[in-house]
Amino acid sequence: MIYQLLYNLLIHLGLPLALLALYRPKKGKPGFGARWAEHLGRFPASDRLGEPSASPLWIHAVSVGETLAISPFIRALKAERPDLPILLTTTTRTGAEQAEKLGDLVMHRYAPLDYPWAVAGFLNTFKPRALWVVETELWPNWLAACEARHLPVTILNARLSERSCQRYARFQGAFDALSRPLSHLLCQHQDDGDRFHRLGIGRERLAVTGSIKFDIRLGDEVIDRGRALRQQLGQDRPIWIAASTHQGEDEQVLAAFERVQRDHPQALLILVPRHPERFDRVAELCAPYGCVRRSRQQGEPLKPSDGVYLGDTMGELPLMLAASDLAFVGGSLVPIGGHNLLEPAALGKPCLTGPAYFNFSDITRQLLAQGGAALVADSAELGDRVSALLADEGARREMGEQARAVVLRNQGALARTLSHCLASLESG
């Protein structure tokens, strides 16, 4: 109880800062428009549900990555239960844009911020039958409100890094209160399940279903668009991509690019920053290398002097990966924790990552052990490794095949997760 009181005191004191961070206009970052009040638990009267049978299943996916991951699952769930109303919430606008692609399969609303009055407004409006959270997005007031209303909570694709486990262990009492409302945790990997168990969650509430992210389906459209983009960029040019880079990492990637150009003067770097509000700043960094922005390209072929292709659009990373010879995945040369290597791996691309990949340790370790990925310690090693792979088509092919093999070996999590979730709906 003391943890809850202290937490609520702190978040209310910090409310102005939270709202400023969420709603402050940023160039290149879409706003929330008239729907901003949804974050505060305020919804149109038309959203209020009269019949208990209309109570939706609440699925929460915080942002675009989680929404992409859960979308195939939602399609499979609706195929099994077409009568089941699904309310999909996201916190971010980019997540909302991805949710819109699901069309009539879901109703999308922004998730309430973790204030008791905002959560109460949300639950009073929609009266959901259960909450399924994608990955480990645990909010104390959400969970307390669900517990008070006897609302079952399931964590899908649950993961827990060793670092997070150790942090939670320092505040075991708070974690016990936080985890008590959780009905089931469907973990990505055995390591995740073991860490949750170390923190006191019983095995009866844990299952290892695998990561639904492995059940990635990049269709023929992505491949075909990737080929078309490759034609524009230069079919015979060596092309590598640095995807999902963060502040402080772009400079390291560009330093590596300079090393690559010594051996491959015609090499092209596709640089895709993680956050859209950074596009303009990264374009300035890339200008000395001859920068072409994806958003401003009209489809004409690139010139030999164009050295960097800036991916400053949303939702097009897969086709840029498909157009590349190999991929470095960012957030790993700076202490962010890395990003998912599965998209390039599923496309059969050699994968490179920096040492700070702790948020995706199991996936990355599998790829490293199989030879589908390689670890680079710094920008110098990144440049050397990229240069060597661009010079050796056979090595690239072998590495890409091993990367794809890891993805194929791990598929099936979607079906296992769906089976658990359908059983919980029936029992509920």
Active site positions, annotated:
66
The reported pLDDT for the residue numbered 34 is 77
225 and 342 in a single domain? The answer is: yes
Q: Is 291 left (phi over 0), alpha (psi -120 to 50) or beta?
A: beta
Kindly state the helix (H) or strand (E) to which residue 361 belongs, with its residue range.
Answer: helix 361-370
227 and 206 in a single domain? The answer is: no
Rg of the chain in Å (alpha carbons) = 22
CB–CB of 341/374 below 8 Å?
no
53 and 13 in a single domain? The answer is: yes
Pairing of strands 86-90, 57-60: parallel
Residue-number span of the structural domain to which 191 is assigned:
2-215+412-427
137 and 248 in a single domain? The answer is: no
The reported pLDDT for the residue numbered 22 is 77
126 and 274 in a single domain? The answer is: no
162 and 224 in a single domain? The answer is: no
Distance of CA 37 to the CA centre of its chain: 25
The reported pLDDT for the residue numbered 1 is 67
303 and 203 in a single domain? The answer is: no
**Residue 70 main-chain phi, psi, to 5 deg:** -85, -15
DSSP string, 22-83: HHS-BTTB---GGGGGGGGT---GGG---SGGGPPEEEE--SHHHHHHHHHHHHHHHHH-TT
Domains of the chain: total? 2
Average pLDDT per 10 consecutive residues for the chain, totaling 428 residues: 83 84 68 83 75 80 85 94 95 85 93 94 94 91 95 94 92 92 94 95 95 85 94 95 97 98 97 93 97 88 94 92 98 92 96 91 91 98 98 98 95 94 84
| 30: CATH | 3.40.50.11720
188 and 226 in a single domain? The answer is: no
CA 79/CA 85 separation, integer angstroms:
12
| 364: CATH | 3.40.50.2000
183 and 245 in a single domain? The answer is: no
184 and 152 in a single domain? The answer is: yes
Pairing of strands 291-293, 373-375: unpaired
Give the number of other Cβ atoms within 10 Å of residue 365's Cβ. Answer: 14
Give the number of other Cβ atoms within 10 Å of residue 193's Cβ. Answer: 22
The reported pLDDT for the residue numbered 53 is 52
CA 342/CA 331 separation, integer angstroms:
15
